[in-house]
Structure 1
Amino acid sequence: MKDQSQELQSKKFRVEFAEEVFTVAPNLYVGLIAVPHVNNLDKDAEVNALLMHMEQEIINSGLQKESVSEIPTIAAWRKVYSQFGAKPSRYPCAAESLIKRVIEHGSLPRIHTLVNLCNAISLKSRMPIASCDIADVQGLVIRHAEGNEPYLPIGKPEEREFPAPGEIIYADQLGRAHSRRWNWRQSDVVKTTAKSKRMLFTVEAVHQEAKILVEATTFLLLELLGPFTEEGTCDKAFIHGNSRVYEFQM
């Protein structure tokens, strides 16, 4: 009889970016890290210290809220958001929201070890970085929404929404949406909690030099995940216009 870890490792998890997404974002480059089992999440002192350091770097930079949109990595996302019908001033990408919150409040809320880690690296790289609990998801397709995909807002799953047709979403095999407006906000189904074990991490960029920054950031995140994962179990992949699909063996 297989134990639980063996069962987790035997599962496949497919991630596909539809070709249509690259029409909207031709420079899109994505780093993916799949983790079959996370642990040691109570040992987060170093993660908190790292997040504090990155927050202080933002503050020390003298960056103002009104100039965040001019950061190249952020400006590129604003252009892409506009192209699929989302107003970036109302719906900023995840990285823009984090940076502006630090400028305004001096720090970010401490949510969860893995979320805090992603936020720290997001502040450093100025790119959206997400942790997704994929225990209840068999695969993801990033595509334009048809408008009939149910989305459960994070923290308010009872208030079901539907994305606007044409909006870019992360959709699963059941036709559920697990993000709104690409990476503006994820769903309650894939949110990271204290019970999260089977995870997918995403590092996304759409600016012209995305490849170098995404690859370096993905390797950094993979290294920092070491204390929370079993050695040799994590897998990584890179998505771009010439390689839109990857299937993890988890």
Structure 2
Amino acid sequence: MYYRYSPSVLSSFPQLQSRGLLIDGIDRNADPNTAISHLTAIAENRLAHATEGELPEIKAWRRAFSVMGYKPTQYRCASEALLRRFRLEGSLPALHPLVDLCNATSLAFAIPVAVFDVEKINSILSIRHAVGNEIYETFSGTTESPEQGEIIYADDDRRAHARRWTNRQSGWSAINSKTKTALIVTEALHETAQQDTDKLINSLMTTLILLWPAVKITRANPA
């Protein structure tokens, strides 16, 4: 078990489908451009027929954010934010082969894909409501305290690795040039979420093995 959901989150969102992968043996030397081109072409085709806000995957997350008390565009889930940026700019910045692959996969499926450096996580990640005493580190290195009741990813050190559920990951556990082991988590709430998250994970596994032939992959579905 590598991550889990609190009973309160599961009862609030019973339609949630979540899949995970633990990958060991990655580096930043892989070239994901061929895979990324294929995935972004899928996103381009979808966006040619609808804006990101009209996609069923994104509509479901907007409904969830409304339940959490946010206006539809006050905060966007990770996949919506990526799709919007891609639609406006035509590309995404290159950060790290694994991150770039996960971002492109998120574009193609319109489903959030989070990836964490496992060495920066103490014990199990819990997706739960914040108590209010957790610590969240931004990508600039500043710290914040999630609001009480906000859904976060948190470890046993009370460190928040993501705020507002699928909205904003922490810089603390972001993938970097030294990362060897990573946890990938994807989550969806729309009608065909079960089938689509399975397809997404299978797609990722196939590409990961092509890019890092020696990588060890373990399915890491939540408790």
Report the TM-score, using the length of structure 2 for normalisation.
0.92
Give the 3 Å change call, closer, same or farther, for CA 184–124 of structure 1 in structure 2: same
The structure 2 residue matched to 1:69, chosen from 50, 53, 58, is: 53
Letter aligned with residue 198 of structure 2? E
* Matched ranges for 1:42-191 at <5 A: 42-44=29-31, 47-61=32-46, 62-63=48-49, 67-137=51-121, 138-154=123-139, 156-157=140-141, 159-191=142-174
How many Å separate the matches in 1 of 2:70 and 2:131? 15
2:196 maps to 1:209? no
How many Å separate the matches in 2 of 1:187 and 1:228? 25
How many Å separate the matches in 1 of 2:131 and 2:76? 22
Structure 1 contact 37–229 (Cα < 8 Å) conserved: no
Cα offsets for 1:108-143 (capped at 9, x unmatched): 111110011001111111100121111021221000
Structure 2 match to 1:228: 212
The structure 1 residue matched to 2:5, chosen from 5, 17, 21, is: 17
Give the 3 Å change call, closer, same or farther, for CA 63–166 of structure 1 in structure 2: farther
Consecutive unaligned residues of structure 2, counting only runs of 5 or more, are none
Structure 2 match to 1:31: 19
Shift of 1:42: 1.3
SS at 1:34's partner residue?
strand
Report the TM-score, using the length of structure 1 for normalisation.
0.82
How many Å separate the matches in 2 of 1:190 and 1:124? 24
Structure 1 contact 24–84 (Cα < 8 Å) conserved: no
How many Å separate the matches in 1 of 2:213 and 2:118? 16
How many Å separate the matches in 2 of 1:48 and 1:20? 40
Structure 1 contact 86–181 (Cα < 8 Å) conserved: no
How many Å separate the matches in 1 of 2:174 and 2:82? 17
Structure 2 match to 1:3: none
Letter aligned with residue 38 of structure 1? I
Structure 1 contact 28–205 (Cα < 8 Å) conserved: yes
**Alignment RMSD:** 1.7
SS at 2:143's partner residue?
coil
Letter aligned with residue 139 of structure 1? I
SS at 1:169's partner residue?
strand
Cα offsets for 1:135-172 (capped at 9, x unmatched): 02122100011121110012x12x21111111110000
How many Å separate the matches in 2 of 1:101 and 1:69? 13
Q: Number of paired residues?
A: 220
Q: Of the two, which has the highest radius of gyration?
A: 1
Shift of 1:229: 5.6
SS at 1:109's partner residue?
coil
Percent of aligned positions with the same letter in both sequences? 35
SS at 1:82's partner residue?
helix
